[in-house]
């Protein structure tokens, strides 16, 4: 994988939720969310999971929480930094779309980044008149690692296709 354009910097933080584990500012927003959801008796929260962070972001109303702009700007900053290093748009695509960045890669299923359940979640986020066309386009290319053979599979595995 070092032959890819991202080189050794590829996938520094593969998932957004790992930022919530390491960053004290993001963690403080998450801890406030958990305390409101579970109650103050929760005490010190455990390390957040991908699902918990996804639920937090999807339920977050940036304009209505205290310092919500700081949280939103920090999340957008993480994505912009990741875009400079490689194609983080493939990872965290549901959270990225939820944040209001209107970009959806059409090879999410092909690259194996999303499964059908994730594609349905993204489909539900777009307008109804676009849902059928989007679903047809995004499912037209099956997962490359399973459906490519020979040299094409090798090229896919090493990021050349």
- Using DSSP's 3-state secondary structure scheme, residue 98 falls into helix
Predicted confidence (pLDDT) per residue in 25-62, tens digit: 888 888 888 888 776 555 555 777 777 887 888 888 88
Please indicate whether residue 76 or residue 160 has the higher confidence score (pLDDT): 76
What pLDDT, on a 0 to 100 scale, did the predictor assign at position 77?
85
**Residue showing tokens 């489909």:** 123
Indicate the burial class of 135 (C-beta count within 10 angstroms; 0-12, 13-18, 19 or more).
Answer: middle
What does pTM read for this prediction?
0.48
Structure tokens at 101: 């960045």
Predicted confidence (pLDDT) per residue in 97-154, tens digit: 767 776 777 787 887 777 888 888 888 888 899 899 989 998 888 888 888 888 988 8
The answer to whether residues 138 and 120 touch, using CB atoms and an 8 Å cutoff, is no
- Give the closest residue to 109 by CA, choosing from 82, 95, 130, 90: 90
In the structure, what pLDDT confidence band is assigned to residue 12 with cuts at 50, 70 and 90? very low
In the structure, what pLDDT confidence band is assigned to residue 94 with cuts at 50, 70 and 90? low
41: Cβ contacts below 8 Å, ≥ 6 apart: none
């Amino acid at each position: 994988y070092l032959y890819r354009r991202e080189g050794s910097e590829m996938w520094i933080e593969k998932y957004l939720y790992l930022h919530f584990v390491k960053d004290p500012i993001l963690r403080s927003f998450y801890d406030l969310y958990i305390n409101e959801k579970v109650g103050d008796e929760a005490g010190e929260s455990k390390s957040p999971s991908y699902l918990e962070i996804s639920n937090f972001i999807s339920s977050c109303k940036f304009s209505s929480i205290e310092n919500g702009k700081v949280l939103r700007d920090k999340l957008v900053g993480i994505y912009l930094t990741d875009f400079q290093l490689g194609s983080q748009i493939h990872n965290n695509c549901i959270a990225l779309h939820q944040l209001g960045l209107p970009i959806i890669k059409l090879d999410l299923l092909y690259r194996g980044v999303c499964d059908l359940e994730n594609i349905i979640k993204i489909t539900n986020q777009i307008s109804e008149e676009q849902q059928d066309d989007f679903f047809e386009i995004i499912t037209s290319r099956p997962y490359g690692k399973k459906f490519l053979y020979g040299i094409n599979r090798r090229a896919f595995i090493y990021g050349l296709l």
